[in-house]
């Protein structure tokens, strides 16, 4: 938290030193950084057999750096927007299906996935988007199609984001994470639910959220798993820009 705040201050200070007392430039730099930059804790519950829940500290960003919008492990680069429709290049790190190597199988690696999305604002804080991403890190070497409907609401200093989505995971993706010598993974759908509450005061913000994934029978039948559900709870406090 303190490190994030000082990083922003140093960025602004460097701009002042490098370009003199050009207040317009410093203002432009400030305009490029917004949102919540925080240190948070996460608690991830896996559906793999024999895998304990994981608790850890991690930097979390819910905001904008120039034209790039960051939401935890997701990032998007805007290429078109007209107030109603928008289009972006997107990327995220798939970590909720990660598993270390054990006696049941080898390591199921985190994947870096890149692609594009189109979306539309529906009014009253509601929007929808459709994204297609493909693995570029050499992990599962396949793709996912992700549709989401989400809403942003404000209650004074409290902001609430709620979302529901359906993801189509390709056969290659499912087989990489859940396939074995005796089980061949098939394409299927995953339902994702998400909620993030953020409370703002002065230059600070506190937040708590959950992402909840429900897999289909194409995953539940794998000998590597013990259920259909994976969840990630996170919370933290940070600097609001």
Interval 90-123: pLDDT, tens: 999 999 999 999 988 999 999 999 999 999 999 9
Rounded mean pLDDT, 35-62:
92
Assign domain 32-240 to a CATH class: mainly beta
Q: For residue 72, what pLDDT is reported?
A: 85
3-state SS assignment for residue 171: helix
* Residue 18 clears pLDDT 60, i.e. is over it: no
Average pLDDT of the chain? Answer: 89
- What does DSSP assign to residue 48? B
* 86 C-beta neighbours (distance < 10 Å), count: 18
Rounded mean pLDDT, 172-184:
95
| Distance in angstroms (rounded) separating the CA atoms of residues 71 and 99 | 23
Of residues 71 and 3, the one with the higher pLDDT is: 71
- In the block, tokens 């050499």 appear at 138
- What does DSSP assign to residue 108? B
- The b/e string for 4-35 (b: 16+ C-beta within 10 A; e otherwise) is bbeeeeeebeebeeeeeeeeeebeebeeebeb
Q: Which residue in 29, 2, 26 sits closest to 239, CA to CA?
A: 2
Q: For residue 27, what pLDDT is reported?
A: 64
Residue 139 · residue 98 · CB < 8 Å: no
* Residue 188 clears pLDDT 50, i.e. is over it: yes
Confidence band for 59, pLDDT divided at 50, 70 and 90: confident
Residue 63 · residue 40 · CB < 8 Å: no
76 half-sphere exposure, CB direction, 13 A CA radius: 20
Residue 165 · residue 148 · CB < 8 Å: yes
Q: For residue 67, what pLDDT is reported?
A: 84
What distance, in Å, lies between the first and last C-alpha atoms of the chain? 13
Rounded mean pLDDT, 45-69:
90
- In the block, tokens 């289909």 appear at 216
């Amino acid at each position: 938290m303190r490190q994030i705040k000082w990083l922003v201050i140093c960025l602004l200070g460097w701009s002042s030193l490098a370009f003199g007392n050009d207040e317009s430039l410093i203002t432009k730099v400030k305009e490029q950084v917004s949102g919540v930059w925080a240190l948070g804790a996460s608690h991830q519950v896996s559906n793999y057999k024999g895998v304990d829940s994981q608790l850890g500290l991690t930097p979390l960003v819910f905001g904008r750096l120039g034209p790039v919008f960051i939401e935890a492990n997701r990032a998007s680069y805007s290429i078109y927007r007209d107030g109603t429709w928008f289009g972006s290049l997107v990327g995220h790190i798939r970590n909720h299906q990660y598993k270390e190597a054990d006696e049941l199988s080898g390591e199921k690696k985190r994947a870096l996935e890149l692609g594009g999305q189109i979306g539309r604002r529906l009014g009253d804080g509601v929007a929808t988007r459709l994204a297609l991403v493909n693995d570029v890190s050499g992990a599962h070497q396949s793709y996912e199609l992700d549709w989401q409907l989400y809403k942003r609401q404000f209650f004074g200093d409290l902001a609430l984001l709620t979302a529901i989505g359906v993801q189509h995971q390709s056969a290659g993706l499912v087989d990489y994470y859940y396939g074995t010598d005796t089980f061949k993974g098939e394409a299927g759908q995953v339902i994702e639910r998400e909620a993030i509450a953020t409370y703002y005061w002065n230059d600070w913000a506190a937040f708590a959220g959950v992402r909840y994934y429900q897999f289909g029978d194409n995953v539940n039948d794998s000998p590597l798993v013990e259920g259909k559900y994976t969840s990630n709870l996170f919370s933290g406090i940070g600097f609001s820009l």
